[in-house]
Structure 1
Amino acid sequence: MTTTPVPGLTAVLDTTRTLLEPALREAVATHLGPQMNRIARYHFGWSDAEGRPTGAWGGKMIRPNLALLSARAAGAEAEDGLPAAVAIELVHNFSLLHDDIMDGDETRRGRATAWTVFGVPGAILAGDALVAAATCVLLAAPAAGARSATLALTAATRRMIDGQAADSEFERREDVTLAECVRMAGDKTGALLGSACALGADLQGAEPRLVERLEAFGEHIGLAFQLVDDLLGIWGESAHTGKQVGADLRVRKKSLPVVAALNAPGTDELRALYLRPEPLTEPDIRRVTTLVERAGGRDWAQNEADRQIAAAEECLTAVDLPDDVHRAFTEVAGFVVGRRL
């Protein structure tokens, strides 16, 4: 998968990285013991498996960038939102460490995943350490809303975990409803993006209406992102996704377009093919792709993604934001969901 940030957004993301990296390194050094520190530094790309510095750092910094914008939305400087940016990035990487284990992924950002280098127990514990460190960073912030922001991030983290648990459960079920799938995606993907968009403002003690609208904006963008990601998982071109066409169908993922199609009337053939225990052949995958589209799964997902983006825009226009902050939020949102099929 490739995405191309607009020129102005590239500068914003670079500024975020410059502000965030020293603060994030300090948080990891301060709040993690030596063993967990070593695993975390490897995962972030700062060092190799032997602990030697690499001078590198992976990741797009989307969530911390949103947290810094959130502080600016409340009238503060971007630097005032650094504890929120650090905390959201720590929680995000907690989820990545655990996701790599659950999905059996052996590479991330072009090198071996932490669990393949340090073992499953070590990677699990390092993830746990990162989410605990996020709490410490927020509670120690010299800001009026430190406690409120900590509670909000904890709630978002719990929702993200619930969404991941539901996603795993769906793999074993044949009766997943579309409402359940949308709720799962909102929890798994939308909750943390919503928190990122609101956390900086919450940390500054902003008015509840501003915090609520920013959080809703992020949740809508998160759900749109998941819808587009699910569309790419079926119809995305390999040159852009880095995966085989129909990759999600090969593992029988209960993605949003698939669940929408499975719950449509007259889909007996699709259900028989997709829910059977035998592996899908290449002709089966092509047939399933056709049946999902014929049942309306593709159109529903595309239309729902458009609806979520429109709802996100309404959330921004409902509050009074500086023009440059409003523009930056929409640019980041466009980068998040502007992925090519």
Structure 2
Amino acid sequence: MDVSHQAAGSPGGDATARCRRLLEPALREAVSALHPWGAKMAAHTLGWSDADGGPLVAGGGKHLRPTIAMLCAEAVGAPPEAALPGAVAVELVHAFSLVHDDIIDHDERRRHREALWKAYGVGPALLAGDSLLALAVDQLTDAPVAMRYLSRALIELVRGQTEDMAFENRPWTGPGEVTVQEYTQMAAGKTGGLLGAAAAAGVALGGAPGLAEPLWTMGRELGVAFQIVDDLLGLWGDPAVTGKPIHNDLRRGKKTLPVLAALAPSSPLAEARPAGRAARELSGLLASDALDDDEVRRAAGLVIEAGGRTAALDQARLHLTTAMEIVVECLPEATELRDLCLSLVERSH
């Protein structure tokens, strides 16, 4: 299945807007159960208000995961509202994970605003993240199949995040280097698990629990593609669009696929003289303890010269193709779901 020239533009389009209109009232109702201070921090995290509590016209996320849950319910013949408990749960878990990720990564910006920990402090941000997680679990107490997949996603998310952090202490090349296979396993857990839970919960709550397992697999494959594209945007994205500065991952030694692919000795690109020369120079730069601004920019350029950007995008499309084959087989009428998923890789252009 060729996905290379399909579905550009903002992820989801009309489907995302339609699902957002159903999601937001349910999400606000869930958050209203928190302590007022926790609710204020949750509102900041979810893009409803600024750090002082003032309302924002726009600023929330893409709501990709809840949209997938509701589209999956529709694809098995249920109204999208049937998947709302799962949609709210996965969005709350996603928000929880971003709060903690920003603390771990020391990222000060999120969606063009201060990250929660920067606005309120680390301790309050941790507590707010924990509150969001607790609310998420509460959404699915009466839906055992959906809860099973959310629990599985939480285990994989934490494992994937742990692997991602551990990779930073391993070398770029030589003994102990991070392999592309290890990266793929990490991304399937860190990013794919929650996408898998969204899809599995959607079909389960929609009345087709027998499709939950293949849709879980679909989401994990989609998550690998999504994470690779995030890696690409972290190196070459527009901060005005992404809401985060570029090159932070490279500065910290975070093992992203474009860089791993550029350095991989088994890559066919490594045999080409210009690519091989770029990979060697890149390896030498990354061996430094710290890179200045010019060196970081040079390293990002060398990743392109060594073929890492092209190889990473190819891998994203490969995992997306696998995900789409499952959608076509299990949910053949789910055109909006397919369009949404296809748009995720094209956002890197």
- Band the TM-score falls in, shorter-chain normalisation: 0.7 to 0.9
Q: What's the counterpart of residue 11 of structure 1? A: 14
| CA distances 1:84-143 after superposition (whole Å, capped 9, x unpaired) | 110011001001111121222223233322212221111111111111111111114xxx
SS of the residue aligned with 2:31?
helix
Q: What's the counterpart of residue 316 of structure 1? A: 327
Match of 2:344 among 329, 332, 336: 336
- Structure 1 distance, partners of 2:285, 2:25, is 52
- Structure 2 distance, partners of 1:111, 1:69, is 30
SS of the residue aligned with 1:123?
helix
Contact 1:213 1:318 in 2 (8 A): no
Quick one: structure 1 residues 295 and 308, their matched pair in 2 at CA, closer, same or farther if it must change by over 3 Å? same
Give the total of aligned pairs: 326
SS of the residue aligned with 2:140?
helix
- Structure 2 distance, partners of 1:72, 1:203, is 10
**Identical pairs, percent:** 44
Q: TM-score of the superposition, structure 1-length normalised?
A: 0.85
Q: TM-score of the superposition, structure 2-length normalised?
A: 0.83
- Structure 1 distance, partners of 2:258, 2:58, is 37
Cα deviation, residue 48, structure 1: 4.2
The answer to whether 1:275 aligns with 2:287 is yes
Quick one: structure 1 residues 337 and 109, their matched pair in 2 at CA, closer, same or farther if it must change by over 3 Å? same
- Structure 2 distance, partners of 1:130, 1:286, is 37
The gaps in structure 1 that reach 5 residues or longer are: 141-145
Kindly indicate whether structure 1 or structure 2 has the higher relative contact order, using CA contacts under 8 Å at least 6 residues apart.
2
Quick one: structure 1 residues 5 and 295, their matched pair in 2 at CA, closer, same or farther if it must change by over 3 Å? closer
Residues 125-144 of structure 1 aligned to structure 2 (within 5 Å): 125-140=127-142
Q: What's the counterpart of residue 62 of structure 2? A: 60
Cα deviation, residue 45, structure 1: 3.0
Amino acid at match of 1:28: V
Quick one: structure 1 residues 315 and 55, their matched pair in 2 at CA, closer, same or farther if it must change by over 3 Å? same
The gaps in structure 2 that reach 5 residues or longer are: 1-7, 172-176, 267-275
Match of 2:25 among 22, 46, 49: 22
Amino acid at match of 1:79: E
Q: What's the counterpart of residue 120 of structure 2? A: 118
Quick one: structure 1 residues 120 and 264, their matched pair in 2 at CA, closer, same or farther if it must change by over 3 Å? same
- Structure 2 distance, partners of 1:151, 1:27, is 20
Tell me whether 192-201 or 51-60 shows the greater mean CA deviation: 51-60
Amino acid at match of 1:40: A
SS of the residue aligned with 1:264?
coil
- Structure 2 distance, partners of 1:257, 1:188, is 17
Tell me whether 296-305 or 148-157 shows the greater mean CA deviation: 296-305
- Structure 2 distance, partners of 1:170, 1:180, is 9
Cα deviation, residue 228, structure 1: 2.3
- Structure 2 distance, partners of 1:241, 1:107, is 10
Quick one: structure 1 residues 63 and 91, their matched pair in 2 at CA, closer, same or farther if it must change by over 3 Å? same
Contact 1:43 1:114 in 2 (8 A): yes
Q: What's the counterpart of residue 301 of structure 1? A: 312
Match of 1:197 among 193, 196, 199: 199
Quick one: structure 1 residues 111 and 278, their matched pair in 2 at CA, closer, same or farther if it must change by over 3 Å? closer
Cα deviation, residue 63, structure 1: 1.0
Contact 2:10 2:347 in 1 (8 A): no
- Structure 2 distance, partners of 1:100, 1:238, is 16
Q: What's the counterpart of residue 174 of structure 2? A: none
Cα deviation, residue 67, structure 1: 0.7
Quick one: structure 1 residues 213 and 240, their matched pair in 2 at CA, closer, same or farther if it must change by over 3 Å? same
Quick one: structure 1 residues 27 and 314, their matched pair in 2 at CA, closer, same or farther if it must change by over 3 Å? same
Amino acid at match of 1:5: S
SS of the residue aligned with 2:18?
helix
Contact 1:264 1:295 in 2 (8 A): no
Residues 13-92 of structure 1 aligned to structure 2 (within 5 Å): 13-30=16-33, 32-51=34-53, 53-54=55-56, 58-92=60-94
